[in-house]
Amino acid sequence: MKQLSLITIFLFLFGIFALPALAADTFDLVIPLPLTGKPAKFGEIMKRSYEIAAEEINAKGGVKGKKIALSFEDSTGKPETARAIVEKLIDSKKQPIIVGEYTSACAKAVAAVAEERKTPYLIVASADDDITQKHYKYVFRQNQVNAHYGDAVVSFLKEVVKPKTIAILYESSAFGTSGADAMEKDAASFGAKVVLKEKFETGAIDFKPLLSKVKAAQPDVIYTVAYANEATLIMKQAKELRIDAKLYAGGAAGFAIPEFIKGAQDAAEYVVSATLWTPQLNYPGAREFAEKYKAKYGDYPSYHGASAYAALFVTADALTRAKNWTPDAIRDALKATHLKTAYAPVKFEDKEGYQNQNFHETFAIQVQKGEFETIWPKSHASKPYVYPVPSWKERK
């Protein structure tokens, strides 16, 4: 009888503590992002975009009747911090899907944890090719790989610029290194000789010694892979040194966000950059998202924001289709994704040595009169490209 009473009490208490979880009207999703530190600007763009998406999804009833409740944890762009955050989310909070991060180094750390814990991970903006080449079953990447980041820029160089020589500068990160290696291979495809390939440390501020080497090499094209601060400083110092080239080009990232134009000012004019998305695209909802973001924050979002915005819709779509909200069921639903988004069509494929990778079209943008304009491919152009690029002394 005493034993029966204890069982009754246990079941009663279990019911009390279990009830809130069973009756919860939200799906809690914690997203790791760099909200402080060097990549904080990218984290801010993505955070704002996730929030806009959550508002729209919840306004339409949420997911299976539950509202998405977003919160964020600051990884500061450090892999060890990102790893610790995700271990806690999976082990303690039992979050059945991980979304987010920005740097490739952080994404690599998170991917290893997610695969080990058999929890699906949706990568939103990290490009190092290696991340989806490890035969992981639980890791999915929505954004394009570094090997294809520059496809539109490569096409533009090949068809319009036709350079004979190129200098490649890149920052010493996983993203910078893989982006530089990809351009080195691409240069061979359009017959350009790489006359200089040099890396610089993340956080560097004096690029004049490096740029002096560039000036001595006299390349037709100067291609740089860098984050925001470095991209800005390189162009400002290139202007000071009056280093002329047929074209300055960037490998997305720091060259493709509004802060680049604000920071480099007139030194940014005519710079071409790879990008994965532009506000001028005709993807469903792209312009509406871009205008909503600008109305709220004063600038158009970069591709990082568009990818974050779309990622929440991809997540909601997978949760809606999943048989249940266990990690394996969500993983199976992600694998079956075939969705048109404001960022790009999303379909996770196994090809070219990648697994669970979304392949999509990329674009080239150019700074014209202090604004980003889509210039390539021509079918997506918002303005004609400016080429040849005037020398520094010819500019007003």
User: Within a domain: residue 16?
Assistant: no
User: What's the whole-number mean pLDDT along residues 198-206?
Assistant: 94
What token pair was written down for 315? 């997540």
Q: In terms of domains, do 227 and 327 share one?
A: no
Q: What is the mean pLDDT of residues 188-195?
A: 96
Other CB atoms closer than 10 Å to residue 64's CB: what's the count? 11
Q: Residue 18's pLDDT is what? A: 38
Residue 21 domain-assigned (yes or no): no
> How high is the pLDDT of residue 7?
45
Q: How far is CA 155 from the centre of its chain?
A: 21
Has residue 1 been placed in a domain? no
Please report whether residue 126 resides in a domain: yes
Q: Are residues 202 and 339 in the same domain?
A: no
Residue 396's pLDDT is: 73
Closest CA to 131 of 119, 305, 143: 143
Indicate yes or no: pTM above 0.95: no
Whether 31 and 125 share a structural domain: yes
Higher pLDDT, 10 or 260: 260
Q: Which structural domain range is residue 48 located in?
A: 27-144+283-358
Cβ-contact 364, 274 below 8 angstroms = yes
Residues 114 and 228 in one domain: no
Looking at the structure of the chain, the number of domains it has is 2
Q: Please identify which residue in the block is written with the tokens 């762009």.
A: 77
Q: Which structure tokens are listed for 74?
A: 């600051």
Task: Indicate if 157 and 251 belong to the same structural domain.
Answer: yes
Q: Which of 308, 355, 363, 320 is nearest to 335 (CA)?
A: 355
Structure tokens belonging to residue 130: 């290696």
Tell me, yes or no, whether 208 lies in a domain: yes
Q: Quick one: 127 and 157 in the same domain?
A: no
User: Within a domain: residue 5?
Assistant: no
Query: Would 18 be classed as within a structural domain?
Result: no
User: Are both 166 and 261 inside the same structural domain?
Assistant: yes
Clarify whether residues 165 and 228 are in a common domain.
yes
Instruction: State whether 239 and 132 are in the same domain.
Output: no
Q: What is the pLDDT of residues 108-167, one digit of tens each?
A: 999 999 999 999 999 999 999 999 999 999 999 999 999 999 999 999 999 999 999 999
User: If DSSP codes are grouped into helix, strand and coil, which group holds residue 183?
Assistant: helix
Assess whether 179 and 71 both reside in one domain. no
Which helix (H) or strand (E) segment holds residue 129: the answer is none
What is the chain's Cα-based Rg?
A: 23
- Residue 193, CA distances (Å) to 149, 157, 169, 187, 200 in order: 20, 13, 14, 7, 21
Q: Is the peptide bond before 120 cis (omega within 30 degrees of 0)?
A: no
Give the CATH number, domain containing residue 87.
3.40.50.2300
Beta strands per DSSP E along the chain: 26-33, 67-74, 98-99, 121-123, 139-141, 165-171, 193-200, 221-225, 247-250, 272-275, 338-340, 345-351, 354-358, 363-368, 371-376
* 153 shares a domain with 139: no
Whole-Å CA distances, 279 to 148, 249, 363, 373: 20, 20, 11, 9
Is the residue at 233 inside a domain?
yes
Give the rounded percent of residues in the chain with a pLDDT score beyond 70. Answer: 94
Same domain for 173 and 40: no
